[in-house]
Amino acid sequence: MSTQYKDDAQLEASRAKTRPPSMYKVLLLNDDYTPMDFVVQILQHFFHKNREQATSIMLQVHTQGRGVCGVYTKDVAATKVEQVLQFAKAHQHPLQCVMEEN
């Protein structure tokens, strides 16, 4: 009888499958006031992009109105959005950063 219980427990454990967490894109939004160099600085500092990658994303923000900085789990994405918003505000720039489900 105890072996049947163990088999049932193992069967139940094998049925429980975990899903990967939902991922979120962190986006910068274009505005007419934030300097391009400041956006590149944000991308290098908070998103660990090299100069070339940061410049490419900055140009995407400038020409298309928004650019993807990275894709993260919900908590990490929310933290990055908040860090960027606080940094921009501290430097008196209206740069907007948002997240959306991927």
Return the pLDDT at 45. 98
For residues 102 and 35, what is the distance between their CA atoms, to the nearest angstrom?
Answer: 28
Average pLDDT over residues 11-23: 78
Calculate the alpha carbon distances from 37 to 11, 42, 44 in Å: 57, 9, 11
In this model, does residue 95 exceed pLDDT 80? yes
For residues 38 and 54, what is the distance between their CA atoms, to the nearest angstrom?
Answer: 11
Confidence of residue 8 (pLDDT cuts 50, 70, 90): low
Return the pLDDT at 17. 84
Into which CATH architecture does domain 28-101 fall? Answer: 2-Layer Sandwich (3.30)
21 DSSP assignment:
P
At 18-73, the pLDDT tens digits run 999 999 999 999 999 999 999 999 999 999 999 999 999 999 999 999 999 999 99
| Structural domain spans, the chain | 28-101
**pTM of the predicted protein model:** 0.82
